[in-house]
Amino acid sequence: MSKEKIFANGFSFKRNEKAPTFVVGNLSVKKEDAIEFLNQHEDRGYVNLNINMSKSGTYYVELDTWKPTPQGEGKPAEKQEVPF
């Protein structure tokens, strides 16, 4: 089961290998595109993004579409004994 990737428009991440070890990378935000993307994908005030590395070694920013499954969903209901 493969979900289609949703790339985060307006966000760009780059790693500088010459930077000190405490610098993870640089995130650039193109305001107009990012605001449109954030408004489109907001869920209760949040937009979760992942910074991933492609097979070719370049970084990209992707929308995190993971949602927890509600408790009890997908499990058979347990029998409850009713006292008489």
Report the alpha-carbon distance of residue 26 to residue 12 in Å, rounded: 8
In a domain, 75, yes or no: no
Q: What is the pLDDT of residue 71?
A: 83
CA 25, 27, 31: angle at the middle one, nearest 5?
A: 175
What pTM value is reported for the model? 0.73
Q: Is residue 77 part of a domain?
A: no
Domain assignment present for 74: no
Domain assignment present for 80 = no
Which tens digit of pLDDT belongs to each residue from 4-61? 999 999 999 999 999 999 999 999 999 999 999 999 999 999 999 999 999 999 999 9
Give SS3 for 26.
strand
